Amino acid sequence: MTAIVREPETFSLAAFAVDPQRGFLPARDPLRRLPEAFAAWEELAEQIPALLAAGQFRRAAGQLPLLDARRLTADDERERAMLLLSYFGHAYVYGEAEVSHVIPANIAVPWCAVAKMLKRPPVLSYFSHILYNWRRIDPTQPIALENLARLEHFLGGMDEDWFGMIHIAIEAQAGPGISAVVAAQDAVSAGDVEQITRQLDIVTASIEHMLAVFTRITEKCDPYIYFHRVRPFLSGWQDNPAFPNGMIYEGVKAFKGQPQFYRGGSGAQSAIIPALDDALGIAFDDNPFGIYMKALRMYMPPQHRAFVEAMRDRPSIRAFVIDHRHREPALVEAYNRCLTTLGTFRRDHLKFTGRYIHAQATREAGNSTEVGTGGTPYMPYLKKHVGEVKDHLIER
């Protein structure tokens, strides 16, 4: 009897909501308006900057009707609703001199309903704030800094927009690198040294493009304005000195009147670096920052979370390189270039946090220089994280 030979299953990026070119950005540009039944949400969203500037957002939000989120049936509608409700929630909490420790039912109930549909916490996460908050000025042109605009704003202005656009453009530049690291893993299964080397070079080029975008943040985002006008709205209510008792989501039956604790939107909720770390075999399991990074995966869309976890379980690039280090110098060099460039990206991120956060002085509630918007003492963690990357370089 002849044995049946089965081809190995193809690892599908689409199954994890990962686009071969856009990476973790949505494959279709974000929806720009909800159906007419949700016009009240859209109208309030248009007025957020003006209402915050006038100190009137809470009053206006109090007049918002309690809409039924179950009428949102398409994924892009739910993502748009999550974006709007997250902005409403954070604008309500941080929109006046004294923070609010309660989110009213007309925001909290639909917000929690949509969050449950999307399997993410009801808080402003990186996915809503960055990955689903953009449009292309010219839809026929690429996703690039010169062709981006933000859909939703808090106070608005060039600094807030530029901060968000930088991160969107970084995500776009990461797409080819994410595809390439998966192709490198596939090449490990095939034992194809040349293909692995070629794909690792693409990963390095992708990180270099990310870095080139990141270094442009100072062009139009001033550290003082970022810290005092942009950052306060991004914080959550876990490990936040302003919310020792958490946040009450009024009217949400599942919470039974108990306070909730969620971290705010943070670049650490992006899947790029965790995916690359796991695919390249960079392990930070015992690093406090690594533990914190894993905890933040609950704020990612479940597909992205699953993708990151899958990277560690797939064929090991690092093990293959180690096994071939004595006879394949070009492969080792390509792998080490990936790690070195990734380390450079981390060092620049550390410089950013130092200049845009740590160097700023404040007495504002919920805007501490000691913790990030995700609620962690980031400086010591980041320094340790940066230093440990070089420990993973492979000697020939």
The model's pLDDT over 158-175, given as tens digits with 9 standing for 90+, comes to 999 999 999 999 999 999
Closest residue by Cα to residue 176 from 207, 147, 198: 207
Closest residue by Cα to residue 85 from 42, 31, 116: 42
21 within some domain: no
pLDDT at 187: 98
pLDDT at 312: 93
∠ CA 116-120-122 to the nearest 5 degrees? 75
CA distances from 164 to 52, 84, 158, 161, 337 (A): 19, 16, 10, 5, 28
pLDDT at 294: 84
pLDDT at 338: 97
Q: Are 338 and 204 in contact, with CB atoms under 8 Å apart? A: yes
350 within some domain: yes
Q: Are 298 and 333 in contact, with CB atoms under 8 Å apart? A: no
345 within some domain: yes
111: containing domain: 26-392
pLDDT at 291: 75
17 within some domain: no
3 within some domain: no
360 within some domain: yes
Helix (H) or strand (E) holding 378: helix 378-389
| Cα–Cα dist 61/85, whole Å | 11
pLDDT at 369: 47
pLDDT at 367: 47
Q: At what angle do helices 302-313 and 272-280 cross, to 10 degrees?
A: 10
pLDDT at 134: 98
The CATH number that applies at residue 372 is 1.20.58.480
Q: Are 168 and 138 in contact, with CB atoms under 8 Å apart? A: no
Q: How far is CA 314 from the centre of its chain?
A: 23
Q: Burial code of 237-275, b = ≥16 C-beta within 10 A, e = fewer?
A: bbbbebbeebbbbebbeebeeeebbbbbbbbbbbbbbbb
Contacts of 145-148 with CB under 8 Å at 24 or more apart are 145/169, 145/213, 145/216
pLDDT at 236: 97
The model's pLDDT over 185-215, given as tens digits with 9 standing for 90+, comes to 999 999 999 999 999 999 999 999 999 999 9
- The parts of the chain modelled with pLDDT lower than 70 are 1-9, 285-289, 361-388
339 within some domain: yes
What pairs with residue 148 in β-bridges? 136
| Cα–Cα dist 287/77, whole Å | 38
16 within some domain: no
The tally of domains found in the chain comes to 1
Q: Are 369 and 285 in contact, with CB atoms under 8 Å apart? A: no
